[in-house]
Structure 1
Amino acid sequence: MFDPASFTSDAPILPAGRHFAVTWSLPTEFAGRTNAMLHRSRAFAANGGRPVDILTFDDFRDYSAIRDQLLTEGFLSEGTSVLNLWEDLPALADALDRDADQEYASFSPLATWAGPVVDLEGPHARRARYSEDGTLLQIDHFRSDGSLLVSDRHDARSKGTHGGRSLTLCDSDGIPVRHYGSSWGLYREWLDSLVGETPAWFVVDNKNTARFMSTFRRDTAVVLYVIHESHLESWTEGFASTMTRSAQEVFPLLDRFDGVIYLTEQQASDVHQRYADIGNSFVIPISRSIAVEPPATARRSAAIGIQAASLNRRKRIDHSIRAVQRVHESLAGTVQLNVFGEGTQREVLEELIKNLAVEDVVRLRGHSKEVRREFDLASFSLLTSTSEAMPLVIVESMAAGCVPIAYDIPYGPASVIDSGVNGFIVEYGNISELADCISAFVTLPEDERASMRVAAIQRAQAFADTAIVPRWAKVMQDVWERKYAPSSPLDVDVVSSDYILEAGGQMKISLLVDLEAPDDRDSVRPDFFCALRPRKQQDFFRVPAVTVVDKGDGRYHLEFTIGDPLLHALAPSTVDFSLEAWRYPDSVSRRIPLFDHGTSRQIYATRHGNLSMVLR
């Protein structure tokens, strides 16, 4: 295994300290988000001058085998290593002194259990017990010598009944040394042992670990969260529409991270319409290893296309197949498409290919470890997903001189492709237009295609590691300076409030507030926001003040406009309104009082849609 202490760099540009990439587990196929995370880690080591440890927390994969596979396939290089919580726990437990102040009343290892026990498969020995209905009640983890490492009960409140968590970490003699009321406590113990007193930089790439990492606050640690996918179920319904399940779990916590990294300006803008920009947002696109000497743009078969994507519904490979079938018929068989990837839709797509009689035109080539080589051979690439954060395949395609043809989806293609110059943007979901675009490209004069290939290669240079890693260094430096700037506590008092419900559903709120802040920063006005928090929901909305008038002596007149799309998205619910003042990272939040106007007014629409009001 690589020893980070042995790593040297002549000219590091990333800040000093330990650098970590945080994910939950590493799959056996390193595509998509995992590919991007692994590549960024290699780029940090090669171009940033700092070694990177990739942290994993799962207990069901053999990481010695995964490391071998990563090394063999080139996903690990000098300066990058993979660490796993469960591999490190035995040494960590033996290094800890027993905490005598902790209570270990819930410690009840399976060795004392008389009921049935099940052996679990995995890289280390694990045994479990279950309730009669199959609910997990306890897992005990063991060292290679058979000694108890962790006893993890899920029935801590009442043995035999699921409820309450209790994890007990034991030394090599099976003696408890630490107790944790949740798995997060155990995770923090591990991270603290890795960090020590040195500065630490955590880049989080996975929503399963993002919720936990949003709570990891240490004086010397900076935590950055990278958003790798679209956060909306259907972007066509607007910025306030329903978020994906994973986004619902993490996005309400974005304030807690030292930095949130978006891959495109477009997605950052959409999220800011929902939560506003409080000052911890940054845009850094995915990077790739781009050859210093661009690939040759010599003549290649104009009609060979490629699509590198998982075979799932979101990627909509069926759109590409149908479009290529139309081109095949209109151009008398001059086009071919090779699809690289695997997934749950393989049988469905094979049946579609058969039904359309394009078996000799469209080939599902499976997973390829040399997909970048395939881009060198192809003339054009297709991207037909429903959504992406920023598809790295577009940059890989352009870097190889393979001209991309992509749907106009959120959030990547339009941020990279200048349509008609270095690629093409096609109307979202329009198979006919996709087919027409393919036909137009493959029938272009060769010199025009060559010109587009050169332009694509030139555009890809903007996403080279040598261009993107310095942007990471700048963001890290900015975050560090703001995180450790002198604290500037704020206080705010709402003096008066009023609201207006306008035709069309828009709501306006006017406030008069008094702001108190330390004298040394009085000249730096905070940003004011109105937060709308539905009860019994984790998600919320935040809108910035559209009018801020300084009345002097710390008094401000504020106005907020809350549009109908946002109010529509909140219904049906009871919503609490709060005033927030941010001078990042300092902030203050106060509920907005509704001052007595003497008359209660309830505005509503009649059954005929007419304006009426109830006065009380």
Structure 2
Amino acid sequence: MTVPGRQAMTIRYLLLHAYGMGGTIRTVINQANAMAAAGHDVEIASVVRRRERPQFPIDGRVRLLTLSDQRRERPVDSLGRRAWRRIRGKIVPPGEFAASYFTERVERSVIDYVSALEGGVLVTTRPALNLISARRGPAGVVRVAQEHMNLATHPEAVRAQIARHYGALDAVAVLTGTDRGEYQELLPGTPVVRIPNAVAAGRPAPSDRPDGLVVAAGRLVGQKGFDLLIPAFAEVAGRHPGWRLRIYGTGPKKEALLALTAEHGLSDVVSLMGRTERLDEEMAKASFYVLSSRFEGLPMVMIEAMTQGLPVVAFDCPTGPADVLTPGVDGLLVPARDVGALAEAMIRLIEDPGLRTRMGDAAAVTAREYAPEAVMPLWEDLFSELLGHRREKSL
């Protein structure tokens, strides 16, 4: 039910691929579910669909629609390319990380959806969609752009488009204080708010941090730095051969990471576990969590590990870890990409169970700031305020 005195709102979330995997998809779906549970009228529009079923649970009160269904086989051109890949759109800049999705046909489907909306709130969830909303969204709709990656990770061409067009939006929502400062500097006059992602509700019992197991998780891509974590763990295994590392996730770097594991003689020590639908339960078996990313937005899996009472060892990569952790209290931060320092920090936690306990207890306290009951009212307040401003302008 909605909070007494607060009117139900119409809220639409626009996702690139609501049927896919990934942190942005999971957190946006969690947000939509929470808003529906609070009594609001909620819709998720998926730009593309390439799977039969969503990978994350969607509340039955949330409408789910698809703008470009790509499940069926498409005809190929003379070079063997799928027809829906042939012609690029005109709004999404080439440097946007998902630009390859935005063919002319796909981009047009998004423009048609956005431009036909009336009233309510539209929440877009990546630069490509934020730019379409800014340039084609109707003035009668409150338009909120979510940025799930820090500004510096976007190529210069994308940052230029952000600077040029985001001023048409009603608000830009970012994940960390660092992000907020960077976007405010780029977008003077545009409201920029910090609202972190919320962890999923209903966590299992916290870990008792037994000896022997370290966990990491994420897409097997260069950003996540598992090619740095594996050689760091080789140093750990040399001093503590009874310890194991499990890495959860799938992605294009799997074979390269398996080869790196074999190269370091760690095939019996480091396991690539693939995807699991019960990551929280697997983390509850662990001693501590390691984040080896080269860059992050807000590392939600790390925060989920903290809800399990796991201390964290993390690279101090651009935005994310330092915005969450208090070094020496709930985790250990080491210089970005410093393999030796990462190894030494893991060894420190391995050799000091008391430190693991103290940091793990503190991590669970820190993680409460990201609970749904702490985060979702921030979204409701923002949407209500923006809708109120819109009504005042229309009088």
TM-score class, shorter-chain normalisation, is: 0.7 to 0.9
| 1:251-330 equivalences in 2 (<5 Å) | 251-273=163-185, 275-291=186-202, 295-296=205-206, 298=208, 300-330=209-239
User: What is the letter of the counterpart of residue 312 of structure 1?
Assistant: V
Q: 2:131–2:166: 8 Å Cα contact kept in structure 1?
A: no
User: What is the letter of the counterpart of residue 43 of structure 2?
Assistant: D
CA distance in 1, matches of 2:115, 2:385: 24
Question: Aligned pair in 2 of structure 1 residues 314, 394: CA closer, same or farther (>3 Å)?
Answer: same
Higher strand residue share = 1
Deviations 1:92-134, CA, capped at 9 Å, x for gaps: xxxxxxxxxxxxxxxxxxxxxxxxxxxxx844x9768x6x788
CA distance in 2, matches of 1:288, 1:361: 30
Question: Aligned pair in 2 of structure 1 residues 325, 211: CA closer, same or farther (>3 Å)?
Answer: same
- Superposition RMSD in Å: 3.2
Deviations 1:15-71, CA, capped at 9 Å, x for gaps: 53321110233344x22211221122122223x33242110233x636xx22xxx3x
Q: 1:263–1:285: 8 Å Cα contact kept in structure 2?
A: yes
Q: 1:308–1:341: 8 Å Cα contact kept in structure 2?
A: yes
Q: 1:22–1:206: 8 Å Cα contact kept in structure 2?
A: no
CA distance in 1, matches of 2:279, 2:105: 42
Q: 1:15–1:476: 8 Å Cα contact kept in structure 2?
A: no
Q: CA deviation at 1:200?
A: 1.2
Q: CA deviation at 1:486?
A: 4.3
Question: Aligned pair in 2 of structure 1 residues 369, 218: CA closer, same or farther (>3 Å)?
Answer: same
User: What is the letter of the counterpart of residue 280 of structure 2?
Assistant: R
CA distance in 2, matches of 1:163, 1:279: 27
Question: Aligned pair in 2 of structure 1 residues 163, 402: CA closer, same or farther (>3 Å)?
Answer: closer
Q: Which position in structure 1 is the counterpart of 2:33?
A: 42
| 1:127-526 equivalences in 2 (<5 Å) | 187-191=110-114, 195-196=117-118, 199-233=119-153, 243=155, 246-273=158-185, 275-291=186-202, 295-296=205-206, 298=208, 300-331=209-240, 333-446=241-354, 448-486=355-393
User: What is the letter of the counterpart of residue 42 of structure 2?
Assistant: V
Question: Aligned pair in 2 of structure 1 residues 376, 61: CA closer, same or farther (>3 Å)?
Answer: same
User: What is the letter of the counterpart of residue 288 of structure 2?
Assistant: F
Q: Which position in structure 1 is the counterpart of 2:17?
A: 25
CA distance in 2, matches of 1:382, 1:469: 27
CA distance in 2, matches of 1:188, 1:390: 29
- Helix, strand or coil at the partner of 1:215: helix
CA distance in 2, matches of 1:13, 1:315: 44
Q: CA deviation at 1:334?
A: 3.1
CA distance in 2, matches of 1:431, 1:460: 27
CA distance in 1, matches of 2:288, 2:206: 15
CA distance in 1, matches of 2:89, 2:239: 64
Q: 1:325–1:358: 8 Å Cα contact kept in structure 2?
A: yes
Say which is worse superposed, 75-84 or 336-345, in terms of deviation: 75-84
Q: 1:13–1:470: 8 Å Cα contact kept in structure 2?
A: no
Q: 1:319–1:384: 8 Å Cα contact kept in structure 2?
A: yes
Report the structure number with the largest CA radius of gyration: 1
Gaps of 5+ in 2: 91-103
Q: Which position in structure 1 is the counterpart of 2:97?
A: none
- Helix, strand or coil at the partner of 2:142: strand
CA distance in 2, matches of 1:356, 1:133: 41
CA distance in 1, matches of 2:223, 2:6: 36
Question: Aligned pair in 2 of structure 1 residues 188, 312: CA closer, same or farther (>3 Å)?
Answer: closer
Deviations 1:200-240, CA, capped at 9 Å, x for gaps: 1111113332221112443531111111113324xxxxxxx
Q: CA deviation at 1:340?
A: 0.4
Q: 1:61 aligns with which of 30, 34, 50?
A: 50
CA distance in 2, matches of 1:284, 1:202: 16
Question: Aligned pair in 2 of structure 1 residues 15, 323: CA closer, same or farther (>3 Å)?
Answer: farther
Deviations 1:343-389, CA, capped at 9 Å, x for gaps: 11111111111111111111111111111111111111111111111
Q: 2:115–2:136: 8 Å Cα contact kept in structure 1?
A: no
CA distance in 1, matches of 2:237, 2:356: 19
- Helix, strand or coil at the partner of 2:63: strand
User: What is the letter of the counterpart of residue 351 of structure 2?
Assistant: T
> When the two structures are aligned, how many residues end up with a matched partner?
380
Q: 2:8 aligns with which of 11, 16, 36?
A: 16
Q: 2:29–2:56: 8 Å Cα contact kept in structure 1?
A: no
Q: CA deviation at 1:270?
A: 2.1
Q: Which position in structure 1 is the counterpart of 2:62?
A: 80
Percent identity of equivalent pairs: 21
Deviations 1:164-222, CA, capped at 9 Å, x for gaps: 9xxxxxxxxxxxxxxxx9876664554566x45xx311111133322211124435311
CA distance in 2, matches of 1:336, 1:133: 47
Q: 1:13–1:473: 8 Å Cα contact kept in structure 2?
A: no
- Helix, strand or coil at the partner of 2:303: helix
CA distance in 1, matches of 2:39, 2:17: 25
Higher relative CO (CA 8 A, sep ≥ 6), structure 1 or 2? 2
- Helix, strand or coil at the partner of 2:284: helix
Q: Which position in structure 1 is the counterpart of 2:93?
A: none
| 1:520-535 equivalences in 2 (<5 Å) | none
CA distance in 2, matches of 1:231, 1:367: 29
TM-score normalised to structure 2 length? 0.85
Deviations 1:223-266, CA, capped at 9 Å, x for gaps: 11111113324xxxxxxxx8366545445322121110010010
Q: Which position in structure 2 is the counterpart of 1:108?
A: none
CA distance in 1, matches of 2:142, 2:272: 43
Q: 1:12–1:49: 8 Å Cα contact kept in structure 2?
A: no
CA distance in 1, matches of 2:68, 2:266: 49
CA distance in 2, matches of 1:13, 1:403: 41
CA distance in 1, matches of 2:22, 2:79: 37
Q: CA deviation at 1:316?
A: 1.1
CA distance in 2, matches of 1:387, 1:352: 21
CA distance in 1, matches of 2:342, 2:293: 13
User: What is the letter of the counterpart of residue 123 of structure 2?
Assistant: V
TM-score normalised to structure 1 length? 0.56
- Helix, strand or coil at the partner of 1:85: strand
Q: 2:33–2:62: 8 Å Cα contact kept in structure 1?
A: yes
